[in-house]
Amino acid sequence: MSHAHPFLRRLILPAGLLALAWALPASGLLNPYVVLVCMYVGINMILTLSLNLVNGYMGEFSVGHAGFMAVGAYAASVLTVWVVPASLAPWLFPAVLLAGGAAAALSGLVVAFPSFRTRGDYLAIVTLAFNMIVKSALENLEVLGGPRGFLGMPRLTTLPWVAAFVLLTLVLCRNLVYSNVGRGVVAIREDEVAAALTSVDTRRVKLYAFLVSAFLAGVAGGLYAHVLQFINPRSFSILKSTDMLVMVYLGGVGSLLGSLLGATLFTVLLEVLRPLGLWRWVVGPLLLVLLMIFRPQGLMGFRDPRWLREADDLPPEGFQAAQRG
Amino acid sequence: MAVLEIQDLTHYFGGLCALSGFSLELSPGELAGLIGPNGAGKTTVFNLITGVYRPTGGSIRFLGEEITAWPSHQITAAGIARTFQNIRLFREMSVLDNVRLGAFARHDYSLWEALCRRGRFRAEERRWREEALALLKRLNLTRYAHTPARNLPYGEQRRLEIARALISRPRLLLLDEPAAGMNDAEAEALMALIREIQADFNLTILLIEHQMRVVMGLCRRITVLDFGVTIAAGSPEEIRRHPRVLEAYLGREEPLVAEGGGSRP
Ligand SMILES: Nc1ncnc2c1ncn2[C@@H]1O[C@H](COP(=O)(O)OP(=O)(O)OP(=O)(O)O)[C@@H](O)[C@H]1O
Ligand SMILES: [Mg+2]
């Protein structure tokens, strides 16, 4: 294995995962319910990574990411149902998802521009308003089914597609975070004025962060719409945004692995609590409050394992960060 | 051509006149000092030069170009770097990342190249990583490269700010009380360092400092502010004997050798 070309070696793990994602459901070993939960876990992983970019790495507080998800979900669904010929739909599905992401990224501008001048609580209110505007716009668009929702999508989302997009998201986020732009994003969180005074073009960096984040949320929305085969504006309410917040703050702010962890734990927890009926919807907000009080950085806050980081920037093995004496 | 030409710079905070009619010209390679009692408006001058505040009046030219209305990041990218009176590092980030951020605008690759790890990405990353590590070595900070900035001892944090300012190869360096909170030996070492980097990096330096020994030892020319007004300008000898300077500092517990206003965190 150590003789393999490094590029090939790097492909082994993703290829294995994808093969597994295809083989497991096909073999019939997993019952369809478990497969469904796995797909939700994957979709939530994408959403959590997306939100973590803004809330964890950049240190802003978006509470309206379900708005981006909605734009992606509706855009992808409209394309599948109205534009793409039914026979081609399975083949064009990834393109449809990317188009949904692009539409969401475009809507990300609505939040990115206010972020140039406002931050903190005020920007949080802007994102909240964005979420509410998207939801009520969809409720009033009769062409898209209004409050009744939009349907007719075939079930195109499969476990291999989810796995592929989770991997893509992870790679994009990792590449972004460990780059000049990513360092600029974190610098904005640490000290925005100092960032500008060390030549960071804070507006451009914020724009990039919101574009990428909204794009990923939009892709997740498309995947979600093609699992359920039915979407309505209520699926993208503030409650959905709250779920994303819980996953970020549970897994860990500013951590890629934490995002994956938070999405997995929370999704599985909600499934386990299904017998509680309506009460399980209290779990999310309650968990959020408890986390904010007792462990605001989450399980993995601001940390990632060596294999996820940029190899050239790693400290020597066994390096102990010097502590202040 | 002058590196920096400030003309008639005036700034109000609401009704408070923090700076009035301030003018200064720095020629290439000069090391000039800016002193004055607490609240005199020294840091305000730096904040105006670097675009933190938009001045109420007056103009600032850098290398012949009018930069008065420019945003901060553009001014810094054009070649003016600074340090802060109250250290402002990116505390959770590694020392290496702090330094590399100083060269943010010099990283020459697009978002797309970063996301796909293609094109100029690898070469540019290597270039600036090596540049940053070389600077860390130069400032004796190598062993901290992977340590979060907040874990550095105070003196090292000050040096790290200087490293972050230097990586972009600025033409003009603004140092805001770099010796604040240092003892005599530390201040002595800092003075040697400032002289060295000035020669090595071909810098023009404007220095705010409360420790008179440091300013008088380093600067050939000193400007004195009091309540936003320039009350004197000249050589250290002239400043030392200037009646208005003595008057401005009179009543202070330790006139002209006062400890800085900077605080240890
Ligand atoms: N952002 C601000 N808003 C309002 N007033 C300010 C602001 N910044 C500075 N000032 C006021 O402007 C005056 C000049 O402040 P400045 O920080 O420039 O003084 P300084 O000479 O650097 O003093 P020190 O030696 O204490 O650092 C002071 O009276 C200060 O209170
Ligand atoms: Mg000051």
Q: What are the residue boundaries of the structural domains of chain B, listed by start?
A: 1-79+170-265, 91-169
A313/A147 Cα distance (integer angstroms):
50
Closest CA to B30 of B230, B240, B218: B218
B41 Cα–ligand 2 center, Å: 7
> pLDDT averaged over chain A?
91
Predicted confidence (pLDDT) per residue in B178-206, tens digit: 999 899 999 999 999 999 999 999 999 99
Ligand that lies nearest to the alpha carbon of residue B210, given by its number in the listed order:
1
* CB contact at 8 A, B5 and B27: no
Tell me the nearest-neighbour CA distance from A81 into chain B, angstroms: 31
Is ligand 1 within 6 A of the CB of residue B44? yes
**Averaged over A248-260, what is the pLDDT?**
95
Could you say which of A195, A310, A322 has the minimum Cβ distance to residue B151? A322
Residue of B nearest to A202 (CA): B73
**Averaged over A279-288, what is the pLDDT?**
83
Whether B153 and A186 lie within 8 Å, measured CB to CB: no
pLDDT of residue B253: 43
Relative to beta strand B16-26, strand A150-151 is: unpaired
Instruction: Report which protein residue has its CA nearest ligand 1's atom 6.
Output: B13
Is ligand 1 within 6 A of the CB of residue B85? yes
pLDDT value at B258 more than 60: no
pLDDT of residue A325: 37
**Closest ligand 1 atom to the C-alpha of B210?**
25
Predicted confidence (pLDDT) per residue in A151-195, tens digit: 999 999 999 999 999 999 999 999 999 999 999 999 999 999 999
Distance of CA B223 to CAs B14, B40, B62, B265, Å? Answer: 25, 12, 19, 29
pLDDT value at B117 more than 90: yes
pLDDT of residue A4: 54
pLDDT value at A7 more than 80: no
Is ligand 1 within 6 A of the CB of residue B261? yes
**Closest ligand 1 atom to the C-alpha of B41?**
18
DSSP secondary structure letters along chain B: --SEEEEEEEEEETTEEEEEEEEEEE-TT-EEEEE-STTSSHHHHHHHHTTSS--SEEEEEETTEE-TT--HHHHHHHTEEE--SS----TTSBHHHHHHHTTGGG----HHHHHHT-TTHHHHHHHHHHHHHHHHHHTT-GGGTTSBGGGS-HHHHHHHHHHHHHTT--SEEEEESTTTT--HHHHHHHHHHHHHHHHHHT-EEEEE-S-HHHHHHH-SEEEEEETTEEEEEE-HHHHHH-HHHHHHHTTSSSTTSPPPS----
Q: Which residue has the higher pLDDT, A12 or A237?
A: A237
Q: How many CB pairs under 8 A join A and B?
A: 120
Tokens of B210: 């409360």
B62/A42 Cα distance (integer angstroms):
53
Tokens of B178: 């770099």
Predicted confidence (pLDDT) per residue in A298-307, tens digit: 888 888 988 8
Whether A197 and B116 lie within 8 Å, measured CB to CB: no
Residue of A nearest to B90 (CA): A190
Is ligand 1 within 6 A of the CB of residue B39? yes
Q: Which residue has the higher pLDDT, B198 or A273?
A: B198
Instruction: Report which protein residue has its CA nearest ligand 1's atom 8.
Output: B44
* Domain at B1-79+170-265: CATH code: 3.40.50.300
Domain assignments of chain A as residue spans, ordered by start: 1-30, 40-235
pLDDT value at B79 more than 90: yes
Residues by chain with Cβ below 5 Å of ion ligand 2: B 43, 85
* CB contact at 8 A, B106 and B168: yes
pLDDT of residue A284: 82
Predicted confidence (pLDDT) per residue in B222-231, tens digit: 999 999 999 9
Q: How confident is the model at residue A276 (pLDDT cuts 50, 70, 90)?
A: confident
**Averaged over A258-271, what is the pLDDT?**
95
* CB contact at 8 A, A55 and A245: yes
- Residue A202 burial by Cβ neighbours in a 10 Å radius (0-12, 13-18, 19+): buried
Residue of B nearest to A171 (CA): B115
Q: How confident is the model at residue B5 (pLDDT cuts 50, 70, 90)?
A: very high
Question: Could you say which residues from 190 to 229 on chain A have a Cβ atom under 8 Å away from some Cβ of chain B?
Answer: 190-191, 193-202, 208, 212
**Averaged over A197-206, what is the pLDDT?**
97
B61 Cα–ligand 2 center, Å: 22
Is ligand 1 within 6 A of the CB of residue B42? yes
| pTM listed for this prediction | 0.92
Question: Which amino acid is residue B256, in one-letter code?
Answer: L
pLDDT of residue A89: 92
pLDDT of residue B251: 52
Whether B77 and A179 lie within 8 Å, measured CB to CB: no
Give the number of C-alpha atoms closer than 13 A to the C-alpha of residue B37, restricted to the C-beta side.
Answer: 17
**What is the ipTM for the molecules in this complex?**
0.91
B226/B223 Cα distance (integer angstroms):
10
B152 Cα–ligand 2 center, Å: 23
pLDDT of residue A241: 96
A182/A128 Cα distance (integer angstroms):
25
Instruction: Give percent of chain B with pLDDT exceeding 90.
Output: 88
Predicted confidence (pLDDT) per residue in A120-131, tens digit: 899 999 999 999
B122/B114 Cα distance (integer angstroms):
9
pLDDT value at A324 more than 50: no
Ligand that lies nearest to the alpha carbon of residue B19, given by its number in the listed order:
1
Could you say which of B52, B116, B150 has the minimum Cβ distance to residue A193? B52
* Selected residue of B72, B113, B176 to mutate for chain A interface (largest A Cβ count, 10 A): B72
Residues 6 or more apart whose CB falls under 8 angstroms from that of A303 comprise A252, A255, A257, A258
